[in-house]
Structures are given as C-alpha cells and as structure tokens.
Amino acid sequence: MADAKEADLQLRVMAPKEPALFVTLHRQGLGWTQETLAEISGVRTVQRVENGEPSSVDTRRALARAFKIEDIDVFNKPHAFTSSKKIKKDAEEFKKNHLTFAVTVAATGKRLANLAEEMTMRCFQQPDGIARCRGVRVLYF
C-alpha cells in the first residue's frame, strides 16, 4: 500500500509559477503590498516573482526570510508533489461522487427579486427511492 502512495508522488523542484502563487497569497494574507514586501525582503523583483518569472536562489531565500519561514531554502529544494495522473484520477472520482452548482450572487435587492422570480424546480421520485430534480435554483440568506 505504501508503494501505491509513493507512486502518486513526484519529487521535483517548484516551477516558477508555484512559488509565485505562494508569495502572492502569503503577501496578501499579511495585508502587504508588493512595495512593503520589497522593503522588508530587500528584493526589488517582487512583481516579477509574483508573475512567475524565474528568480535567483538569493531572491527566493530573501522572500522566505521576509515571511519568517524557518527553512529559507523552502523555494529552492525538491518537494513531493502529487502526480498529474493522480490529480486527474481524483478529479474524475470527485465528479462521479459530487454535485456541483452554478452560483449567482445577488448583490442588490433587485437582483434577489429577479432570482426569486426565475426559480423553478421539478422533482420526481425514482424507483430506487432517490429524488431527481431539474431546474433547481437555490437562494441562501
């Protein structure tokens, strides 16, 4: 069983887009602007890093230090990532076992009223006891 789990993992260094996403989300989570991160880290290329452009080892280390990450080489060393084959398999399994719904945000009272007017629902009972519904719109308050 351990072999099957290891086969689902791929050891590799992060592609430039992966630390870009981490840096962007972490910076935003801290409420920092790119300029703030540049001042704290001493990195003048924050925008390029966040755009997924290649960056130097020193740049990535400076960003890790700015975020107070203990392992400053976190962006430079290989990590175990789930293989694309496993991700596709999991996505297919998810689609098979879950329903997904489109969401419409009612930002105004008028839009909420329009959505209420558009609501329709037809349900019927199958012999297997599972209700099937068509044309469902759900409003959350």
Domains of the chain, first to last = 2-82 (1.10.260.40), 101-141 (no CATH)
**Burial bucket for residue 68 (CB in 10 Å: 0-12, 13-18, 19+):** exposed
pLDDT of residue 114: 85
pLDDT of residue 46: 95
Q: Looking at the predicted structure, is the pLDDT value of residue 115 above 50?
A: yes
109, 115 Cβ separation under 8 angstroms: no
Q: Looking at the predicted structure, is the pLDDT value of residue 44 above 90?
A: yes
Burial string for 120-134 (b: 16+ CB within 10 Å, else e) reads eeeeeeeeeeeeeee
Nearest CA-CA partner of 138 in 123, 124, 119, 117: 119
Task: Write the pLDDT tens digit of every residue in 81-106.
Answer: 888 888 899 999 998 888 887 777 88
The number of helix segments (H) and strand segments (E) in the chain equals: 7, 4
